[in-house]
Structure 1
């Protein structure tokens, strides 16, 4: 009751201007971040969604005055993030733990959280936004996983790119006011501390003033202190791309962070490609009296404009053109030039985002990707492997956090040491032709058995390879005449003679 009164008093003081609101989260104690990073994240988010107002809102003049339209886009930000995510993590990836108890516990947690599906989605968000966080928590005696995008995670303390203190801001609205829930994860004198706070903003832009937590989250405690933990209860994932925006920041950057100019050029070319058909359609030159005239409000002079929505050009007073003459004008469309320009930009974009040249192509109807078969020496495969190294480390940290929470709440009796191995899907990087030729040469040189070669090329088990080999031998036997039968026939022919 007393706290509610204080809160009401604060609200009144803010209204009459005697108490100033906190303008930003950075105005709070212990938070020191580079705001440019979070401004960039907002740009990456907008491009990933396919609409960034500074690029895609196009202003132009018509006979009816200024107009605005939305530029068409290929949305390569979404395409590149999705493609890299599917290469790095898919349903064929396996997480193995050498301890059966821990393995069963982690599998049950992942299953009840639908981990594989959600993780694939958030890996894509990670490549687009520059990072993401998975945060385990306990609800109804079960460990749940909270997936957090890059814009809802602010690091506070880190060491060698390992973040161990952070704050998670979450905005929500009630009636006409905006509220911000801050969840702090801190270390104090060897204790792990989780604090929850809620701030109310009067104008919707500032962080505002602190209000009672119980009013919005009655089941949350304002502060929880945990003893015995060795690591933070969250895992941060980011692309393996060096941060050249803030060299001191532990945060990651989007895979297309250094390709923004190219992204804009691609959308400009793609928009121009579609406008080519609209503005380049057949038109007719007509006498001036057949075209609309508008009065300039400044000079009072009559002006005539070419309006892209009109079907006619104005016939200006030039040459000996008859006043009643109509001329058909057919404009040559630059289709091939546009397609060539878009593909040249796509190759540049692929190089800037870690893909091999030719990964993305535009044929005039749709955008296609060519990552079905990738050489192990290609740029795409090398980028894939570099991202996997970072993701594997973060997955190990996540599993350690889940196990630590399980031990804390008595859900599991886990050993102090266990090994986590992540097997990513590398089948997409197989060059089948080269692999077959290599195995054939090894068999011919006596350095590889046929069974092992079948296992390697076809990706089958030893038993399946043995069965395939037996079938091959049987087929060869049926196709080749029996040696004894040939000898018998030879002897018979000799007797007849």
Structure 2
């Protein structure tokens, strides 16, 4: 990061010290996501001789698991981006954007492998606090000073330490610098994109540098030409990037960057690893021991060595206990096991404390899960019975509310990104029929919260009441098109006519049943 800050300062974009210091916290959160924090997981113990040696604490790596679960809940291949406008441009816009309404593996999203990219990006967002999606033009060309392209591609900067806000307020980052490092022929290079806001769109500046040396606070670098065909500067008619941050208030520092979902749960992460390490050590140290009289051990043949006077003297004899397992199983006690028990051997079977360790780990998992917004019952050691979505909502209200809360930020970012893609498609790819004013809907994956069995039963009841028709059931749950479903059920005509007719029949029946003399 020191290199990036130095270069940005020389380019005329100084970064405040408060923002620079914040990247140390991002690195700390990233270490937890990776699963190893040296100052916590590395410690020392002393052996029987008083010598110290380093020991690595066992890790559950729950920070990464928490972020993976949040990514799966918020953005996956079942998420859908749907567009709709008043004229014929809906199908053209949808095709350019996603290919179709169902699979959405085509268009800009498909070519960018967005669902895979997006899921990984959200995982890193919840780990480090910030990620950035930005747009690039595919095969750009300049003709008579006008920039054109074949299509648009979505890229992501998943490392928050490569995202530097330049201009921002309390709610939004309006100008930004994105960096990436690469090595070529053993030489180190850095590529920096600067997004500067103008009256009508954004000006993008590309900078390439070769890193020659890094010594203390001094950084040696030199400007290098852009790769062949790469534009040094160009203008886009829309905001070509969006920032994703967890929808939680930052209580760590007053900076425009986000905070990790477990930033306030570090103690819980440590407790989980301590509990798991204790479980591991109890298992490791809980092996059976057999204390045996020295007479039962076979002895190695006497070895000799020369003393200081050059005399040949025997060295200390050691028991020959064979394999490693035997060394840990059999323990010599000298001439007898104990003075009051003159036996040749005695067994010792320590308790593994399985139940106590299990409760300890489970208790800390519950604390961590709740602190990270996933509810207390997200992680369970015991096998749980299958529950319906209705039971999930009722028993884990905290998780449900957290998901809705986090989706607000995801929805806003995807909507903004989608509109920018459509604008670039119209203005720079010159695709006719695209409508930038289209209505954009983000449909999230609600399979965790949807109870299919209950929904099927309700739909069958509505069919019996005449509200729905049988063919609609086949379309929804059998995957048939309307024509096939109508053919299978023998139903034809306009469903609206049937519903209206049913309501009239019910009203007439009620009128016939009214007793005389009543209004």
TM-score, normalised on structure 2? 0.70
Question: Relative to 1, partners in 2 of residues 1:453 and 1:233: Cα closer, same or farther, differing over 3 Å?
Answer: closer
Q: Cα–Cα, structure 1 residues 384 and 452, in superposed 2: closer, same or farther, change >3 Å? A: farther
After superposition, give the CA deviation of every residue in 1:130-181 in whole Å (9 maximum; x if it has no partner): 2211111123233222111123211111245222200112123356654332
Distance 1:80 1:372 in 2: 23
**In structure 1, how many angstroms separate the alpha carbons of the residues matched to 2:120 and 2:218?**
30
Structure-1 residue corresponding to 2:442: 422
- Aligned match for 1:105, one of 87, 90, 96: 96
Q: 1:212 aligns with which of 199, 205, 223?
A: 223
Contact 1:403 1:412 in 2 (8 A): no
For residues 38-74 of structure 1, what are the alpha-carbon distances to aligned partners after superposition, in whole Å with 9 as ceiling and x for unaligned? Answer: 2222222222222222222232223574332332222
The residue number in structure 2 matching 1:352 is 371
2:74 to 76, 85, 88: 88
Cα distance, 1:331 vs structure 2: 1.0
Match of 1:237 among 231, 235, 244: 244
Q: Does 1:61 align with 2:60?
A: no
1:457 Cα deviation after fit:
11
Q: Distance in 1 between matches of 2:189 and 2:429?
A: 35
CA distance in 2, matches of 1:225, 1:240: 33
Matched-pair contact (CA < 8 Å) for 1:22–1:208: no
> 1:386 Cα deviation (Å)?
1.4
Distance 1:258 1:148, change over 3 A: same
Partner of 1:129: 128
Q: CA deviation at 1:437?
A: 8.7
SS, match of residue 208 in structure 1: strand
Contact (CA 8 Å) 1:45, 1:129: kept in 2 or not? yes
TM-score normalized by the length of structure 1: 0.73
Of 311, 329, 338, the match for 2:348? 329
Q: Residue 211 of structure 1: SS of its match in structure 2?
A: strand
Measured after TM superposition, the shift of residue 468 of structure 1 is: 10
CA contact (8 A) 1:59 1:68 kept: yes
For 2:332 and 2:442, how far apart are their aligned partners in 1? Answer: 69
- Structure 1 position 31 matched with structure 2 position 22: no
Looking at structure 1, the residues matched to 348 and 479 of structure 2 have their Cα atoms a distance apart, in angstroms, of 65
Corresponding residue for 1:117? Answer: 116
CA offset at residue 426 of structure 1?
1.4
The structure-2 alpha-carbon separation of the partners of 1:135 and 1:335, relative to structure 1 and needing over 3 Å to count, comes to same
Structure 1 pair 431–330 and aligned structure 2 pair: CA distance change class (3 A): same
Residue 337 (structure 1) shift = 0.5
Q: Contact 1:89–1:424 at 8 Å: present in 2 too?
A: yes
Q: Distance in 2 between matches of 1:209 and 1:372?
A: 61
- For the structure 1 residues 423 and 127, does the alpha-carbon distance in structure 2 shift closer, same or farther, using more than 3 Å as the test? same
Q: Distance in 1 between matches of 2:4 and 2:161?
A: 19
Asked if structure 2 preserves the Cα contact closer than 8 Å seen for 1:347 and 1:359, the reply is yes
Distance 1:199 1:368 in 2: 56
Alpha-carbon distance change, 184 to 288 in structure 1, aligned in 2, over 3 angstroms: farther
Taking the aligned partners of 1:74 and 1:94, their CA distance within structure 2 comes to 33
User: Bigger CA drift: 60-69 or 98-107?
Assistant: 60-69
Contact 1:355 1:383 in 2 (8 A): yes
Retained in 2: the 8 A contact 1:270–1:342? yes
Deviation at 1:343, TM superposition (A): 0.7
Following the alignment from structure 1 to structure 2, what is the Cα–Cα distance between the partners of residues 288 and 75? Answer: 45
Q: Quick check: 202-211 or 134-143, which moved more?
A: 202-211
For residue 485 of structure 1, what is the aligned residue in structure 2?
none
Match of 2:498 in 1: none
Higher mean C-alpha deviation, range 26-35 or range 99-108: 26-35
Structure-2 residue corresponding to 1:253: 259
Which of 281, 285, 288 aligns to 1:282? It is: 288
Shift of 1:191: 6.0
Equivalent position SS for 1:380: helix
Q: C-alpha displacement at 1:420, in angstroms?
A: 0.7
Please give the root-mean-square deviation of Cα atoms over the aligned residues, in Å. Answer: 4.1
The match for 1:10 is none
SS at 2:380 equivalent: strand
Cα distance between partner residues in 2 of 1:21 and 1:255: 28
CA 1:196/1:321 → structure 2, altered by over 3 Å: closer, same or farther? Answer: farther
Query: CA 1:88–1:267 in structure 2 vs 1: closer, same or farther (change >3 Å)?
Result: same
* Contact kept in structure 2, 1:376 and 1:430, CA below 8 Å: no
| Paired residue secondary structure (2:214) | coil
Which sits farther off after the overlay, 62-71 or 336-345? 62-71
Shift in CA distance, 434/105, structure 1 to aligned 2, threshold 3 Å: closer
Instruction: Tell me if the contact between 1:360 and 1:370 (Cα under 8 Å) persists in the aligned partners.
Output: no
Which residue number corresponds to residue 509 of structure 2?
none
- Please give the secondary structure, in 2, of the residue aligned with 1:169: strand
| 1:302 matched residue in structure 2 | none
User: Of 157, 166, 184, which aligns to 2:176?
Assistant: 166
Instruction: Give the secondary-structure state (helix, strand or coil) at the position aligned to 2:203.
Output: strand
* Whole-Å separation in 2 of the counterparts to 1:371 and 1:389: 27
